[in-house]
Amino acid sequence: MATRWGICSVGTISHDFAVALKTLPPEDHQIASVAARDLGRAQEFAKLFDIPTAYGSYEDLVKDPNIDVVYIGSIHPEHKRLCMLALNHGKPVLCEKPFMLNSKQAKEVIDFAKEKKLFLMEAIWSRFLPGYEQIRKEIAEQNIGEVRFVQASFGQTISHLERITNKSLGGGALLDMGIYPIQLASMVFGERPTKIVATGHLFPTGVDEVCTITLHYSNGRMAQLAAHTSVLFQNSAVIYGTKGKLELPEKFWCPTKLITPAKTYSFPMPETTYKTNCVNSTGLCYQARAVRECLKKGELESAVVSHHESLLLMEIMDECRKQMGVVYDIE
């Protein structure tokens, strides 16, 4: 039986997630309904992707008995409310990253999902891509020896976008882009940092234009990370070990190439005839497949992006924001 998805919000990432779902076998994945605050936009989205039902409110979608799981692709200040809404109506949830605005919200939502005994996962799609699976394998097999240092940076010219500069929209480089290098370091080292050092430059609106982060781990291991909203970086990442390195030469958050000491791997993304908004975003299909497997097994969280991991990432970003002086309105 197919996993029936309900999609909350019809913005950029929801569009690409729908495209990704369309690359998967229809006997495994179907989009059963979509909702937006504007019914007309929901109906346009439904027509584009052949979705049978469109709603003009998120409340109506979560009440739909014909969906098995809700995907939340809204802006992150809405994540807590929509997660709680879906969970309260008995629906498992896949929620876009960053998971919440802060760790307090994250803990509340995770605790509620556990209370309701419902699946909940943050959509850190990078973790499910074949390139990231190969990274975990290379590290587990100690092909580069002991990992000592991670370097990753993400920079794009997106500071003209309101969602980046507007504090009420959860703006800033850290939450929008910094989540990617931070999650990579966290996946590689697999533990809580012993020390966090963050600095940045703020827009006049009080959110960060740029942030640089140094994460210290046990035994002298470190990660040097950066995110910038006004300049284009190489967007590469390198994982350095005592016997070699793993290199993601470009688009490290959605890589199609991984260079290892032994060989260079290529990971082409699924093809589609639909237009997409974000680079390599058909790769969102891998996390959808993972959610389906978790639901089939009756699991309440993913081992790849666990509740503990999502909470840890939010706590790291809380500390980074504290050091930079970024405070959101809800705080």
Token pair belonging to 302: 């993913």
- Write the pLDDT tens digit of every residue in 289-310: 999 999 999 999 999 999 999 9
The percent of residues above 90 in pLDDT, for the chain, comes to: 100
- Write the pLDDT tens digit of every residue in 259-278: 999 999 999 999 999 999 99
Fold identical between 3-125 and 130-266+306-324?
Answer: no
Residue 98, preceding bond cis, omega within 30 degrees? yes
Q: What's domain 130-266+306-324's superfamily in CATH?
A: Dihydrodipicolinate Reductase; domain 2 (3.30.360.10)
Inter-residue contact 19 to 26 (CB < 8 Å):
no
Give the domain ranges of the chain.
Answer: 3-125, 130-266+306-324
- Write the pLDDT tens digit of every residue in 1-43: 999 999 999 999 999 999 999 999 999 999 999 999 999 999 9
Inter-residue contact 287 to 94 (CB < 8 Å):
yes
Tell me the C-alpha distance between 101 and 319, whole Å: 12
Q: Which of 101, 49, 104 is nearest to 79 (CA)?
A: 101
Tell me what pLDDT residue 51 has. Answer: 98
Tell me what pLDDT residue 84 has. Answer: 98
Tell me the C-alpha distance between 109 and 32, whole Å: 25
Token pair belonging to 52: 């049978």
Residue with tokens 């997660």: 83
- Write the pLDDT tens digit of every residue in 84-97: 999 999 999 999 99
User: pLDDT-based confidence at 248, cuts 50/70/90?
Assistant: very high
Inter-residue contact 233 to 155 (CB < 8 Å):
yes
Query: How far from the centroid of its chain's Cα atoms is residue 319's Cα?
Result: 19
Distances (CA, A) of 202 to 5, 75, 164: 38, 20, 11
Tell me the C-alpha distance between 1 and 26, whole Å: 10
Token pair belonging to 261: 């000491």
Average pLDDT over residues 297-324: 98
- Write the pLDDT tens digit of every residue in 120-131: 999 999 999 999
Question: What is the rounded radius of gyration, in angstroms, for the C-alpha atoms of the chain?
Answer: 19
Architecture, CATH, for domain 3-125: 3-Layer(aba) Sandwich (3.40)
User: pLDDT-based confidence at 288, cuts 50/70/90?
Assistant: very high
User: pLDDT-based confidence at 119, cuts 50/70/90?
Assistant: very high
User: pLDDT-based confidence at 193, cuts 50/70/90?
Assistant: very high
